[in-house]
Structure 1
Amino acid sequence: MQSLRYASILLLIVGCTKKTPTEAPREIKLYQNWELQPGQVVGGHAVVSGLGDLSIALKGDAVYAPFDGRVQPHNSSCVIFSSEEIPVYLFRLCGLRSLNFGFLSAGDTIGSGKELQIAVLTRQPDGRWALVEPSKKIIEQMLLR
């Protein structure tokens, strides 16, 4: 019985361990530049979204890869999802935990959380990224497996 208790404690510790990315954060040069960005701190409080972000109440639910793609760190509270299927777009996802970094297949879990702040960016001819309106269809793919 005691070995079962130790196994349960070990499983709890391992299951709650935060996954850390194995690569450096991806830098994105925005076409539109605001002073405050998600992941920054102002007045001792975290900025969790900004102009161009859409906030969705997840209530602990998961967010799924809408296509085969890659999850990369961006800053302390956000990740970037990119896909060769739509190479001129990036998805900035903030507010998720239990993140899965690296290459994912469509339908794989990216992470979960209480709220998701999502921004969709499109590549400009000069190499910078501009915020664009998110597609309802793609967001539904990210929320429903």
Structure 2
Amino acid sequence: MAIALLGSACSQAPRPVRTVPIQQSWELQLGSTVGKHRIAGGLGDISIEMKGDRVYIPFDGEVQSNDIPGCYIYSTPDVPAYLFRLCGLKSGKTGRVRSGDSLGSADYLHFAALRRQPDGTWALVEPSKEMLERMISK
């Protein structure tokens, strides 16, 4: 009986990957390649030298994998018109998250704040310094 329960606990359905249509468009975008190298940051991203430190969840919410490899989308009802894209995490956590949870660690965190537009796309906007401080300090 214990083996059957263990087997079913390990076979959870994969979480969906979230695609976020960005209003602005540039030739060189996050996730694109130049030669054989992947672009890890772009216009609108804030890059923070983390030196292996942890990244924390500022408010209860949800984290989803993004369609850009190595990136995650964080959303929270506390800031409903915004999404936050985090790239560079060594191992990210997906699903429901609570304020203060560790999302993972990073050598460099590439962070973007996105505001929902009336046409359903998302525009890159300047992130709040307070939000970033809550994410990188505990």
Same fold (TM over 0.5): yes
Q: Give the Å deviation of 1:96.
A: 0.5
Q: Give the Å deviation of 1:39.
A: 2.1
Indicate whether 1:84 and 2:114 are aligned. no
Aligned to 2:25: 33
Aligned to 1:22: 14
CA distance in structure 2 between the partners assigned to 1:40 and 1:23 by the alignment: 24
Decide which of 91, 107, 113 is 1:114's aligned counterpart.
107
Residue ranges of structure 1 left out of the alignment (5+ in a row): 1-20
Taking only aligned residues, the RMSD between alpha carbons, in angstroms, comes to: 1.2
CA distance in structure 2 between the partners assigned to 1:36 and 1:73 by the alignment: 21
Residue ranges of structure 2 left out of the alignment (5+ in a row): 1-12
Q: Deviations over 1:68-114 (max 9, x none)?
A: 01110112121100111111101110100121111100110111110
Q: Is the 8 Å Cα contact of residues 78 and 92 (structure 1) preserved in structure 2?
A: yes
**TM-score, structure 1 length as denominator?**
0.82
CA distance in structure 2 between the partners assigned to 1:24 and 1:42 by the alignment: 28
Aligned to 1:7: none
Aligned to 1:100: 93
CA distance in structure 2 between the partners assigned to 1:83 and 1:106 by the alignment: 10
- Aligned to 1:114, the other structure's residue is in SS state strand
CA distance in structure 2 between the partners assigned to 1:35 and 1:94 by the alignment: 19
Moved over 3 A (4+): none
Q: Is the 8 Å Cα contact of residues 38 and 77 (structure 1) preserved in structure 2?
A: no
Aligned to 1:4: none
- Aligned to 2:118, the other structure's residue is in SS state coil
Q: Is the 8 Å Cα contact of residues 39 and 48 (structure 1) preserved in structure 2?
A: yes
Change (3 A) 1:77 1:39: farther
**TM-score, structure 2 length as denominator?**
0.86
Aligned to 1:136: 129
